[in-house]
């Protein structure tokens, strides 16, 4: 028979996994996830043979078993942990937003979960695994952007309904950064293939650099949304 402390512990874990814990709990958890991710990336960069070139080498090169025979373990570990770890936070976002715009929040949540699966897949299947790695990478990169686009409606509705916990300038700043970086990435992606086939130097827009910027903008978005939630966000 379970004791009261055991039942409370199980309830606390269940609440956390389903997004029903206090905002402060997810703030600490996000910080821990970020530290793990930064450490895994940092070690992968440090152990990379020769010199890693941000302008010419993809983010996934850090997890390439051939290019980074030691560091790839840490990079891939960080990606898997980040992908799994972000899921409880996704449910926290769902709990906070579903009362504002139910349908779009469900869509936002489902796409985010698939994006998290994409991150996990990128960690499991290294860059040298072939097409399966790029499928998961596409799921992650474009999934996050699609989810954030759906969430824009919810946040605009929050302002329109006078909820008061998000300001117009915050909404504009968040999406200005995310959209501009995505536009830059898509432009670089398009011109990259023109450069690849035609070897015209002007078309080489350093796609890997835009990958890093896109990754940074997604992390910024997830943290920014957390910060603008009311301090008493508790379900």
Whether 27 is covered by a domain: the verdict is yes
Whether 7 is covered by a domain: the verdict is no
- Chain segment 210-228, per-residue pLDDT in tens: 889 999 999 999 999 999 8
Rounded to 5°, the CA angle 154-160-166 comes to 65
Whether 155 is covered by a domain: the verdict is yes
Whether 2 is covered by a domain: the verdict is no
Q: What is the pLDDT of residue 2?
A: 60
Whether 176 is covered by a domain: the verdict is yes
Q: Which of 3-12, 110-119, 126-135 has the lowest mean pLDDT?
A: 3-12
- Chain segment 68-81, per-residue pLDDT in tens: 999 999 999 999 99
Where does the pLDDT of residue 230 fall: very low under 50, low under 70, confident under 90, or very high at 90 and above?
confident
C-beta neighbour count of 134 within 10 angstroms: 14
Of 145, 181, 151, 183, whose CA–CA distance to 166 is shortest?
A: 151
Q: What is the pLDDT of residue 96?
A: 92
Q: What is the pLDDT of residue 197?
A: 59
Q: What are phi and psi of 162, to 5 degrees?
A: 70, 35
Q: What is the pLDDT of residue 192?
A: 72
Q: What is the mean pLDDT of residues 139-166?
A: 89
Domain count, the chain: 1
Q: What is the pLDDT of residue 183?
A: 84
Whether 168 is covered by a domain: the verdict is yes
Is residue 162 predicted with pLDDT exceeding 70?
Answer: yes
Of 161, 177, 162, 160, whose CA–CA distance to 225 is shortest?
A: 177
Q: What percent of the chain has pLDDT over 70?
A: 91
Q: Are 105 and 98 in contact (CB under 8 A)?
A: yes
Is residue 159 predicted with pLDDT exceeding 90?
Answer: no
Whether 45 is covered by a domain: the verdict is yes
Is residue 194 predicted with pLDDT exceeding 60?
Answer: yes
Whether 49 is covered by a domain: the verdict is yes
d(CA 35, CA 41): 10
Report how far apart, in Å, the C-alpha atoms of 23 and of each of 57, 168, 189, 233 are: 37, 22, 37, 5
Domain residues for 57? 18-228
Q: What is the pLDDT of residue 59?
A: 94
Using the Cα atoms of residue 5, residue 11, residue 15 and residue 21 in order, give the sign of their dihedral: negative
Is residue 200 predicted with pLDDT exceeding 80?
Answer: no
d(CA 166, CA 92): 17
Q: What is the pLDDT of residue 56?
A: 82
Is residue 12 predicted with pLDDT exceeding 80?
Answer: yes
């Amino acid at each position: 028979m379970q004791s009261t402390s055991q039942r409370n512990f199980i309830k606390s874990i269940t609440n956390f996994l389903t997004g029903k814990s206090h905002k402060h709990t997810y703030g600490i958890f996000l910080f821990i996830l970020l530290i793990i991710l930064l450490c895994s990336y940092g070690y992968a960069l440090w152990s990379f043979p020769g010199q890693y070139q941000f302008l010419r080498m993809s983010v996934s090169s850090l997890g390439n078993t051939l290019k980074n025979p030691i560091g790839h373990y840490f990079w891939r570990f960080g990606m898997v942990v980040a992908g799994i770890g972000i899921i409880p936070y996704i449910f926290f976002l769902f709990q906070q937003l579903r009362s504002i715009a139910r349908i779009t929040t469900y869509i936002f949540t489902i796409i985010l979960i698939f994006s998290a699966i994409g991150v996990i897949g990128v960690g499991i299947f290294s860059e040298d695994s072939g097409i399966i790695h790029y499928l998961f990478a596409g799921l992650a990169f474009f999934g996050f952007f699609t989810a954030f686009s759906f969430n824009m409606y919810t946040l605009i509705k929050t302002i329109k309904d006078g909820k008061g916990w998000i300001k117009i300038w915050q909404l504009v700043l968040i999406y200005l950064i995310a959209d501009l970086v995505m536009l830059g990435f898509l432009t670089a992606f398009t011109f990259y293939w023109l450069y690849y086939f035609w070897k015209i130097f002007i078309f080489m827009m350093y796609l890997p650099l835009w990958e890093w910027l896109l990754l940074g903008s997604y992390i910024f978005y997830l943290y920014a949304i957390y910060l603008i939630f009311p301090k008493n966000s508790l379900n």
